[in-house]
Amino acid sequence: MKFSFKILLCMMTVIALALGFSGYYFVNYVFETSLEREIGQSLDESSILGFALETAALNVPTNYSVLPDNTIDEIAANLEASGQQKRLLRISDERKQTLYVSDGFFADRQLLEETDAKVKSYHIARSGKKHYVHAVTAVNARNRVLYLETMRDVSEVFTERAMGFSLYRRVTLLMLLIGLLLMYVLTSFLTKPIRILTRATKQMAAGDYAYRANQVSQDELGELTMDFNAMAEALERNVGALEHEVEAKEEFMGAFAHELKTPLTAIIGYADTLRSHSMDEEKRMMAANYIYTEGKRLEVMSLRLLDIIVAGNRKVNLQRVAAQVIFDYLKEMFAGRTDVKMQFSFEAGIVCAEPNLIKTVLVNLIDNACKASEQGGGIEVEGRAKEDGYLFSVRDHGIGIPREEQQKIIKAFYMVDKSRARSQNGAGLGLALCAEILKIHDSELIIESEENQGSCFRFLLKDRASHGEPGLDRENGVFGS
Ligand code: ADP
């Protein structure tokens, strides 16, 4: 059953119960008040008739000291006819023997038997659809105790109660019908956010992660819609990232297979020639040399790949290193290169990083700069202390990188000019390794390049002094805060 119908059903039950109880209480209250009034009037009438009986008894001639039974008939007949309508009464003597009874008086004798000379009593007597107040009162008439019983018709009060109930039933039904319509409109308005959310979940289940639920209220359901949208956003982001990752992996696998294929084809081809043809020493040497070089290329590639995988999966062991230590290492490393003019300039400062990894990044960047430069081209390696960390940059004035390629070159196996890269022993993995290393240092490569003008690769290593790193280790040139 739909939630809105459940609410509707609950509300209608509550309204029906409320109307039913209040109606019953109201009609009954009116009935009881009217009945009490009628009973009061019956008892008053019974008292008045009692007085009239006493007075009439006193007016009987005085030669009787006791009221004779035959005069009682006369008095009773007068009392019976004294009202606007014929009264119903019964007069009994001291022993509760009936002396007079009106036609149509039907009340039984139980009340009379229970009543003594000092009290008045009454009850409601019923005959078919008619209801009467049956009252008994004792009268002192000329040295005799007589019992006067009266019956007053109160059927109207009962009829009014039945009419009240029937009217109230109809009003309740009408109210329920109107209530049903109003509640239907209200519940569908109140449950609108739920319907919107249901539609949104279905859309998302069908793969439409960009679908968002429209927030139509500011209440708890509105909040739920907002939370749902936030969740959808996170989900869309995560799915996007996963798709991107899968795409990147597929791309990587494709490139990897392709990069494997070239050296393997050469190796297999030359190995086959060697084993199936007899050839002179020079040709044999050439084939063996090809196999060796391509095998070496494969080895370098597999080691680089391993480095990337390891870098991506490890936790960085941050240390506070003097920038000078890194620059001293680089100077020593590239001291023998005479094909380019390399300049190192740096500001004293502390680098917060894992030194060996950062050295790997810088060596790769400098290596790339050398490959991109002409004979004798200038390369500037700089280090600048910044407010929030230490900034490294490697600038060359070589071939540069076309704008549309600049974001692609950090992908594994991507080479702008494949034949040039291969001839320089490149496999398109150096920058991918740099990117992985910088990622675990919470940093990234910023590439600025102009075709035929040169390139500049920069990265900032944030200062983590506040995190409390290890102390000074002067022997290794490693400093602490
Ligand atoms: P590799 O150098 O082994 O080919 P990298 O990942 O280091 O692989 O570089 C990817 C590609 O980016 C290179 O093949 C080259 O085309 C381009 N590249 C990298 N650095 C530079 C640079 N300083 N100037 C011009 N091109 C560059």
Three-state secondary structure of the chain: CCHHHHHHHHHHHHHHHHHHHHHHHHHHHHHHHHHHHHHHHHHHHHHHHHHHHHHHHHCCCCCCCCCCHHHHHHHHHHHHHCCCCCCEEEEECCCCCEEEECCCCCCCCHHHHHCCCCCCEEEEEEECCEEEEEEEEEEEECCEEEEEEEEEECHHHHHHHHHHHHHHHHHHHHHHHHHHHHHHHHHHHHCHHHHHHHHHHHHHHCCCCCCCCCCCCCCHHHHHHHHHHHHHHHHHHHHHHHHHHHHHHHHHHHHHHHHHHHHHHHHHHHHHHHHHCCCCHHHHHHHHHHHHHHHHHHHHHHHHHHHHHHHHHCCCCCEEEEHHHHHHHHHHHCCCCCCCEEEEEECCCEEEECHHHHHHHHHHHHHHHHHHCCCCCEEEEEEEEECCEEEEEEEECCCCCCHHHCCCCCCCCCCCCHHHHHHCCCCCCHHHHHHHHHHHCCCCCEEEEECCCEEEEEEEEECCHHHCCCCCEHHHCECCC
* Residue of the CA atom closest to atom 21 of ligand 1: 368
* Orientation angle between helical segments 355-372 and 323-333, nearest 10 degrees: 40
Under 8 Å between Cβ of 354 and 316: yes
Please enumerate in sequence order all residues whose Cβ is within 8 A of that of 369, keeping only pairs 6 or more positions apart, or say none. 340, 379, 394, 395, 396, 398, 455, 457
* Residue of the CA atom closest to atom 11 of ligand 1: 415
Residue 66 class from Cβ within 10 Å (0-12 exposed, 13-18 middle, 19+ buried)? exposed
* Residue of the CA atom closest to atom 8 of ligand 1: 428
Pocket mutation for ligand 1, best pick of 415, 424, 451 (most atoms within 8 Å of C-beta): 415
Length of the chain: 481
- The pLDDT value recorded for residue 472 is 35
List, chain by chain if needed, residues with CB within 6 Å of any ligand 1 atom.
364, 368-369, 372, 396, 398-401, 409, 414-417, 421, 426-432, 455
CA angle centred on 65, ends 63 and 67, rounded to 5°: 100
Give me 325's structure tokens: 């230590």
Q: 105 CA distance to ligand 1 centroid (A)? A: 125
Q: 428 CA distance to ligand 1 centroid (A)? A: 7
* Residue of the CA atom closest to atom 23 of ligand 1: 369
Under 8 Å between Cβ of 409 and 416: yes
Please enumerate in sequence order all residues whose Cβ is within 8 A of that of 462, keeping only pairs 6 or more positions apart, or say none. 352, 388, 389, 442, 443
* Residue of the CA atom closest to atom 3 of ligand 1: 426
C-beta neighbour count of 130 within 10 angstroms: 14
Closest atom of ligand 1 to 368 CA is: 20
- The pLDDT value recorded for residue 479 is 37
User: Reading across the β-sheet that carries 378-386, which strands appear in turn?
Assistant: 341-346, 378-386, 389-396, 454-462, 446-450
Closest atom of ligand 1 to 426 CA is: 3
Q: How far apart are CA 456 and CA 379, in angstroms?
A: 10
Nearest to 379 by CA among 358, 362, 394, 360: 394
Q: 246 CA distance to ligand 1 centroid (A)? A: 24
Q: How far is CA 290 from CA 257, 269, 302, 324, 423, in A?
A: 20, 10, 18, 42, 13
Q: 369 CA distance to ligand 1 centroid (A)? A: 8
Closest atom of ligand 1 to 304 CA is: 3
Give me 269's structure tokens: 């081809």
Q: 238 CA distance to ligand 1 centroid (A)? A: 31
Phi and psi of 293, rounded to 5°?
A: -60, -45
Q: How far apart are CA 106 and CA 76, in angstroms?
A: 17
Under 8 Å between Cβ of 371 and 431: no
- The pLDDT value recorded for residue 478 is 40
Closest atom of ligand 1 to 425 CA is: 3
Q: What is the dihedral of CA 211, 212, 213, 219, to 10 degrees?
A: 160
* Residue of the CA atom closest to atom 13 of ligand 1: 415
Closest atom of ligand 1 to 416 CA is: 16
Q: 455 CA distance to ligand 1 centroid (A)? A: 10
Please enumerate in sequence order all residues whose Cβ is within 8 A of that of 316, keeping only pairs 6 or more positions apart, or say none. 353, 354, 357, 440, 441
- The pLDDT value recorded for residue 391 is 97
Q: How far apart are CA 328 and CA 334, in angstroms?
A: 10
Residue 96 backbone zone (phi > 0: left; psi -120 to 50: alpha; other: beta): left
Q: 457 CA distance to ligand 1 centroid (A)? A: 11
- The pLDDT value recorded for residue 434 is 92
pTM: 0.55
Average pLDDT, consecutive stretches of 10 residues, N- to C-terminus, the chain (481 residues): 85 90 93 95 92 85 67 86 86 90 90 83 91 93 86 94 93 92 90 91 92 89 92 93 89 81 87 88 90 87 82 83 95 89 95 91 94 94 95 96 92 84 80 90 95 96 65 37 29
